[in-house]
Structure 1
Amino acid sequence: MVHDWLLVETLGDEPVVVAQGRRTVNLVPISALLRRNPHLMAIQTAIGETVRAGQGLSSITPKNDRVIRTEVVQMTDGRIHGVHLWIGPPDMEPTERPVPGPLVWDLDRGTATGTPESLLNSGRAPDAEAGPIRTFADDLPTRDLNPSEARVLRMAITREAGAVLCSTWDVTDHSGEPATVGFVIRVVREPQDDGSERLLCRAMNWRSEPDPAATPPDDLAQRILDGLAQPGVQRALIDVPRWTLLKWLDPPPAYFDWRAGMAGDRAVHPEDSGEIDRMAAEFETGTTSGVLRMASDDGWTPVQVTVNRIDVGDGVFAGLAMLRRA
C-alpha cells in the first residue's frame, strides 16, 4: 500500500475515500479500497473514534507493525466533514499532508461559508477573508462554465437531500498560476434548535492533480453563452424561482450590491416582489424580463434583467440572467 494520506468523507452512511494524496478518488468506500488490507478493521475503528472525539489521534495496530494517524476536517459550526488518515510503519514519518478545507452552501438562503483552508485551496490569497455575506458565486470562478461546475449547479437547483458529487475543476490562483481543485459535496437536511430544518451542501476541497484521462468537453453550450455576451451587460447563472445567484460569467457589476440583492435576505425593493413572482412564472416556459430595484450604496438602483432558460444537464434549467443598469 502506498503510504499517502487518504481523505475520507464521513457525512454519508459509510466513510468514502475522495482523495489519495493529491489525487482525487471518486467516492470509493473505505471497505472496498482497503478490502485486502489486514488492518481494515483498525482503520475503520480509528475513523469512527476520530469523528466521535472531534480530534485527530494516533494509534497502533494489534500486531504493533503499523501506526494509524488521523486528522479531523471540521467546519466552523462544529460539524465534521471528513477524516484525513495515514497508515505506515512505526519508524516512518507521514508524507506531507495536503490540507483539506471544509465549506458549506446554505441552499435555503443562497449563502456560502468558507474557511481559510477552503479559500486557499480554491486559489485565494493566503490573507483572503470571507466577507459577512458570501454567495455561491464567490466559490465558483468568474469565467466560462465547465462540466464539473454544471453538475454542482444542478445539485444546487434540484436540492435533493443525499445527492453527492466528487470531482475536480481547474482554476487560476491569486498569483495567476493554473491549479486543479478537488472537491466533494453532499446535500444534507439538518434539524435546527427551533424545530425547523435547513438544506445544506456540506463540502471539502483540496489541491488536486490534473486528470490525464480527461477528455475535452463539448463546447457547444459555451459557444452559445459567448454569443450572448454584450458590452455593458453582465451575465450570470441564477436559480430563478428562488432568485439565487449561482455563478458570474462576466465580472460582476459595481452599481448594486449583488451579494445582498441575490443571496441572504435578497435585498430587492419590497414593492418588486410581485415582479419577481411574475418573472419566475414566465421562466417556466421561456424567456422573461423586468426591471428590479436592487440594494445599492445610493439606496435602490433599477436593474434591467432578462433571463433565458439554459439546460445545465439532465433536463435541469438554470436562468441565464443578463443584467444592465436601467
Structure 2
Amino acid sequence: MRRRPPIRPLAVLATIGMLALTGCGTDTGDPGDSADRTPSTGTGRTIHAHQVMRLTRVHEETGMTLLEGPTFNEDGDLFVVDVTAPAGKPKVLRVNVRKKTSRSVHTDGRGAYTSAQFSPYDGRLYLTDYAHGEIVSLAPDGSDPRTFFSGKVEGAQMNPDDIAFDQAGNLYVSDSRGLSEGKALGRVVRIDRDGVTATVLAGDLASTNGISFDADYRGLWFSELTQNRISYLRLDGEGGVASRHTAIRVDAGVAQTDSIAVDAHGNLYQALHGRPAMVVYDKYGERLATVEIPARAAAAGLESATNVAITPGGTTAYMTVSGPAGGYLYAFDALAEGIRQSNGG
C-alpha cells in the first residue's frame, strides 16, 4: 500500500483474481520503538500494545497486505487470513505465538478472505470470501476446502465480511453490500448450520463490518464502517429479532469501525480501519480504554488495526495490524478473559 489517505481495501478486492503471484515473508522486525508511545485521545486509559512478529510484506501485484480474522484452535495456535494475498501465496496462516513462527495452511486462485472462525458444531474453519460472495470451510489443518454457502440471499448477492457463530453452530454474517457504491445496502444475515437456509435479520445498513455475540448470547453487536456506529440486535431465541437500536457512536475522526470482539465481562473491542488502534467499551457504551501501538511503528507505515483474538481463558490479546510496513501481530493485556466471542470473526 502506498502512503495515501486510508482506503478500505475491500473496495478493490474484485480485482484480485486478475493479479499475478507475489512474495510474502515472515519477519520479527519491528518498524517502531516500544518506548515511543502514541498518546490516547478521548476518555479511558491507554493500553500499550507490543510487537510480536511480522507475518507478511506488501504484495507487489496487489500493492498491499491486510491481515484479518485472528482465531485460536484447540492447540493454541493462531490462524490469520491475508485478505489481499494473490493467487498461490498464503491466504490462511497458522501462527505459533510462543515460538513466533508461521506457516501457510491454505491458498487458492480466487478467494479474498476477510475473516476466519472455527465452528462449534463441526470444528471446521470457516472463511468469508468477500469478493465472490461465498463462505468456505476448511478442515482444522487447512485441508479439504468446501464451499459452505454461495448464491443470493433474498434476491441479492452477499459481500460477507465477518462471522459470529451461535452455540448451536448457526452463522451470523455481516454483509457489507453497498461499500463501493456508497449506499446503505448492508445487512446482517443468518445462515443455518447446514448451509441451506439464509435469512436477513437487519437491512439498510452502511457497510456492515464487525459482528459478535454479547457474552450471554442474547444479542449481536455489529458495526457499520461508513457510519462509525455500533448497533445492538437483540434476538428472540428462535432465529429472529426482538429489537434493534444504535448503541455506540464511535468518535474516530478519519478512521472507521472495523471488526468487533467481546470478552468474558461483555466489553467490546472495536478495531479501527485507518488508525492502528482499538477502542474498548463496556456493554453500556462507556469508553474504557484505547489500545495503541508505538507511535514510531505507526509513522513507519502501520495504518489499520483490523481485528483481535483474546487467548481463550487468558487475557493476552493478539491484534492484527497492517499497512505499507507489512502485516504484523501486536499483543496487549485485555480487560478480561477471552471467550468464543473474542476469538475470531
TM-score (normalizing by structure 2):
0.25
More strand by share: 2
> Which structure has the greater CA radius of gyration?
1
TM-score (normalizing by structure 1):
0.26
Name which structure has the greater RCO, CA cutoff 8 Å, separation 6+.
2
